[in-house]
Structure 1
Amino acid sequence: MPADEEGLPQFPYHPDPVGTGSVVAAAVVCACCGRRRPFTYVGPVYAVEELARVLCPWCIADGRAAAMFDAQFTDASWRVSDGVPADVTELVLRRTPGFVGWQQEQWLHHCRDAAEFHGPVGANELAAFPDALEHLRLKVAGSGWSADDKDWYLQALSKDGPVTAYLFRCRHCGSHLAYSDST
């Protein structure tokens, strides 16, 4: 089947990489498979080689890009919850499109599994996910900030602004989670 007729591969931990902006509809000759593909991965790549905007999502999904370049698509420094199997962590690091954040990206976990990444969100979008907002409130509660500063921070969240939240969903119970960072 020609590359332009192929559907995107499925990523269990990043179900809509085009919607989140990690994959874009832009033709690329993939540095891994050598095929001209209609979509390009534009998220982070942790490898010795410079691989910005030269990998196709198919080579990420099947693990070829990670194997060929000893690459990861999410930084391994994030904390993995106890009980999450090592193969899940490996799948997120090496076979799942990452995403770009302001500081160091984190992949959230729930129910002993990695959660699905659903993209950057601001206060307006987060209002539709009260469980994620509560998760974020709990994280901000330990910040040492005044109540006014905490409220300001949560209201200042912007999908495209200098204070952003990142939305995740548990694959098992459906709970929404979020973390935030800023410039």
Structure 2
Amino acid sequence: MELPNFKYHPDPIGSDSICESSEICECCGKQTGYRYKGSIYCKGDISSLCPWCIADGSAAKKYDAQFNNFYSDLPDEIVKEVQERTPGFYSFQEQDWLEHCDDACEFYGQALASDLQSLSQSEVNWILENTYLDSEEWEHLKQEHVPDSEPVIYKYVCRKCKEVFVSFDES
């Protein structure tokens, strides 16, 4: 079965937010072959949700849940789609879903060394202006970074201009 399309999280298996599983979804009661692994912000405790119940909004509605802490001045339909119908991800700190060109960005999980090496100068300038890093720290991090090490670096891509952005997460 093909996974639902998530506009703001195009590869939830690659980002490790969804995995194959034989568990039964607590929302729809079906065994779909996949399970969501990311954060769930709700009052109860939910241990197994399928991607379809996230995509159609039924899990958010049934459990008064959000999958991403995304607060923005963007139109409500974009904010709600990211919060309630887009798989999230685990992070040490509160998630920082990025936006650009009047839209939420696409999330691609952890950035690889090749992603960091291929950033344009304008993309690097954005990092230096919007993070705690100076140019020397950035050069060191770019050369030495290994996925699953701290800081965790998450990759985002603007849906309109295709610029790449990163956010950092540390314990």
> 1:126 touches 1:132 (CA, 8 Å); kept in 2?
no
Contact 2:116 2:142 in 1 (8 A): no
Structure 1 pair 138–10 and aligned structure 2 pair: CA distance change class (3 A): same
Q: What is the Cα deviation at residue 22 of structure 1?
A: 0.1
Q: Aligned in 2, Cα 1:154/1:126: closer, same or farther, shift over 3 Å?
A: closer
Q: Distance in 1 between matches of 2:134 and 2:66?
A: 38
Residue 21 (structure 1) shift:
0.3
User: What are the ranges of 5 or more consecutive residues in structure 1 without an aligned counterpart?
Assistant: 1-5
AA matched with 2:14: G
* 2:91 corresponds to 1:101: yes
The counterpart of 1:38, out of the listed 29, 33, 52, is 33
After the TM superposition, which residues 26-175 of structure 1 pair with which residues of structure 2 at under 5 Å, given as runs?
A: 26-52=21-47, 54-76=48-70, 79-80=71-72, 82=73, 84-130=74-120, 132-140=123-131, 143=132, 148-175=136-163
Rounded Cα–Cα distance in structure 2 between residues aligned with 1:30 and 1:18: 17
Q: Distance in 1 between matches of 2:75 and 2:134?
A: 38
- Greater CA drift, 155-164 or 100-109: 155-164
> Percent of counterpart pairs with the same letter?
35
Task: Return the letter of the residue paired with 1:42.
Answer: K
Structure 2 residue matching 1:13: 3-state secondary structure:
coil
Counterparts of 1:147 and 1:129 in 2: how far apart (Å)? Answer: 14
Could you tell me which runs of 5 or more consecutive residues in structure 2 were left unpaired when the two chains were aligned. none
Q: How many pairs are equivalent?
A: 170
CA offsets, 1:68-91, max 9 Å, x none? 000000124xx52x4x21110110
